[in-house]
């Protein structure tokens, strides 16, 4: 079975104009040939900013670029027909389709309602004032452009737990809506940052409302009926009660496909927190390895001062590999984003080798790292900044190496603070390889492969080291790596 390799096929600053679905379709076959097995698509539903929405300001879950709402029919990425074609092209190429699920909040309501609220301290959300007052808030979603097609559900004040803007009196902040759910408190089983991290933005969805609960389960059944669906990426999981996703994932697996791939974005580096969350959701899903991403970021900044032997310390892929999706970057960490933590370009080939060529974890590539990206936006300093994210030249080759050579048991040679290596020993059906990395000077490492490898000639598949090396009569070979680089050595006689 081919090892799973996922690609996030978008980034925060992907160009407007409805081009993405067409690009997905055009590149499906080439990606499959390279070794990509799954594509994570951006949120396909209509956002509050219509054709300019990245997708996380979710407005209408049932508008896949089909209705004239929020100033456009199509989304930023294209119309419904383009989405359906892109997903089918991926299926035809043998690639799984992973949809982004944004349930935490809604934005861009159609009507205001008079609501009762209590003010919460933004830095300690558990500190909610006793005083109840009335105000107007945009909490009624009627979706007039869709006019009840697919779902007649109307979202109103009872469907939300909190808001961040009120009128009459006009004010911004965090306000707990007074309703019949939760005895006036936020949802439990969410992250405890800021006391309780139920509230994130917009109109915060109230999952304890059974009508909401059933509507979101219905959508989970509806989407795969409309477009090819092999799994889900769950947005903002730390803000959504764990019991909800435990139930929701179980429901869609039972009613849609028991083999659905599900990964949640729980952006937290603490293993104790992630273990607790996985226990709460009955270990039904995977999580992005935030700790490993931060290790890559730190290693790239520290250069030769970082001890490479510790690269996997306190990471999800080390502790719970069956639940880890590993990544080097994503749309939240790219330059000019609020959570910017960009791995330095020199280290990215090393980082990708460490997630693509090892046994543990499911690696996720990032669109700009494969194809490059140039964009501009306003930074925290209020100035416009130009960003150039060049493609990583060796990344396609690394993905091919995963497909062709990263097979069999693994032996780690983490015996030097600046130069580490690991061996994939291959299987009876598939070859293996030796991966060696250095964050300092160029170095050699001697690897004992066994007598059955005697006399075998090895070549750096990445082309970083030009001369072949040959194993001696005992099957021992000395491989090398250039400074601040990675090399992958495989037998020359392998096709």
CB 294, CB 270: distance < 8 Å = no
CB 228, CB 258: distance < 8 Å = no
Task: For helices 271-280 and 242-255, give the axis angle rounded to 10 degrees.
Answer: 50
Active-site residue 235, yes or no? yes
Beta bridge partners of 166: 171
Q: Can you tell me the distance from the alpha carbon of 227 to that of 39, in angstroms, rounded to the nearest whole number?
A: 14
Pairing between β-strand 261-264 and β-strand 231-234 as defined by DSSP bridges: parallel
**What string of DSSP letters covers 357-407?**
SSSSSEEEEEHHHHH-EEEEEE-TTSSEEEEEE---TTHHHHHHHHHHT--
Q: Can you tell me the distance from the alpha carbon of 66 to that of 371, in angstroms, rounded to the nearest whole number?
A: 29
CB 234, CB 265: distance < 8 Å = yes
Task: For Cα atoms 41, 361, 408, give the angle at the middle one, nearest 5 degrees.
Answer: 125
CB 21, CB 85: distance < 8 Å = yes
CB 474, CB 451: distance < 8 Å = yes
Active-site residue 265, yes or no? yes
Q: Which of 63, 79, 206, 235 is catalytic?
A: 235
Residue 299 DSSP SS3: helix
Place of tokens 């170095």: 443
**What string of DSSP letters covers 119-179?**
EEETTEEEEE-S--EEEEEEEEB--TTTTTSS----B-GGGEEEEEEEBTTTEEEEEEE-S
CB 145, CB 68: distance < 8 Å = yes
Residue 296 DSSP SS3: helix
Non-local (6+) Cβ contacts of 467 within 8 A are none
Q: Which of 206, 265, 289, 460 is catalytic?
A: 265
What are residue 284's phi and psi, to 5 degrees? -85, -5
CB 216, CB 103: distance < 8 Å = yes
CA distances from 190 to 182, 244, 271, 277, 302 (A): 14, 10, 15, 9, 34
CB 104, CB 245: distance < 8 Å = no
Point out the residues that are catalytic.
235, 265
């Amino acid at each position: 079975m081919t090892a799973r390799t996922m690609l996030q096929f978008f980034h925060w600053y992907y160009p407007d104009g409805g081009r993405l679905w067409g690009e997905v379709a055009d590149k499906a076959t080439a990606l499959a040939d390279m070794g990509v097995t799954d594509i994570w698509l951006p949120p396909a539903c209509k956002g509050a900013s219509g054709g300019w929405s990245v997708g996380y300001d979710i407005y209408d879950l049932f508008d896949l670029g089909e209705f004239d709402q929020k100033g456009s029919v199509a989304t930023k990425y294209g119309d419904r027909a383009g989405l359906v074609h892109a997903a089918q092209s991926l299926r035809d190429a043998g690639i799984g389709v992973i949809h982004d699920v944004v349930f935490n909040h809604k934005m861009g309501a159609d009507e205001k309602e008079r609501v009762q609220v209590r003010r919460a301290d933004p830095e300690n959300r558990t500190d909610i004032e006793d005083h109840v007052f009335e105000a107007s808030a945009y909490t009624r979603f009627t979706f007039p452009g869709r006019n009840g097609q697919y779902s007649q559900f109307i979202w109103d004040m009872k469907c939300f737990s909190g808001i961040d803007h009120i009128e009459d009196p006009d004010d911004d902040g965090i306000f707990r809506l007074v309703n019949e759910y939760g005895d006036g408190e936020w949802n439990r089983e969410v992250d405890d940052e800021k006391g309780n991290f139920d509230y994130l933005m917009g109109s915060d969805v109230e999952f304890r409302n059974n009508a909401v609960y059933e509507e979101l389960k219905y959508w989970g059944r509806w989407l795969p009926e409309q477009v090819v669906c092999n799994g889900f990426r769950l947005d903002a999981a730390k803000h959504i009660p764990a019991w909800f996703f435990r139930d929701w994932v179980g429901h869609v697996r039972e009613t849609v496909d028991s083999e659905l791939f599900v990964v949640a974005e729980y952006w937290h580096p603490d293993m104790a927190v992630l273990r607790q969350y996985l226990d709460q959701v009955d270990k039904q899903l995977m999580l992005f390895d935030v700790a490993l991403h931060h290790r890559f970021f730190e290693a790239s900044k520290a250069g030769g001062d970082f001890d490479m032997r510790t690269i996997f310390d306190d990471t999800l892929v080390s502790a719970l590999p069956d639940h880890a999706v590993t990544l080097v970057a994503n749309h939240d960490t790219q330059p000019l984003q609020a959570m910017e933590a960009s791995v330095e370009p020199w280290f990215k080939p090393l980082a990708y080798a460490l997630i693509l060529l090892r046994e543990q974890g499911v690696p996720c590539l990032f669109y700009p790292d494969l194809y490059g990206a140039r964009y501009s936006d306003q930074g925290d300093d209020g100035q416009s900044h130009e960003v150039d994210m060049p493609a990583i030249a060796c990344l396609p080759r690394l993905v091919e190496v995963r497909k062709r050579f990263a097979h069999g048991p693994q032996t780690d040679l983490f015996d030097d603070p600046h130069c580490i290596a690991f061996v994939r020993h291959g299987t009876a059906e598939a070859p293996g390889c030796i991966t060696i990395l250095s964050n300092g000077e160029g170095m050699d490492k001697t690897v004992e492969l066994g007598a059955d490898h005697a006399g075998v000639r090895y070549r750096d598949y990445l082309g970083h080291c030009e001369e072949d090396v040959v194993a001696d009569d005992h099957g021992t070979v000395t491989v090398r790596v250039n400074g601040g680089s990675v090399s992958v050595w495989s037998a020359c006689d392998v096709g």
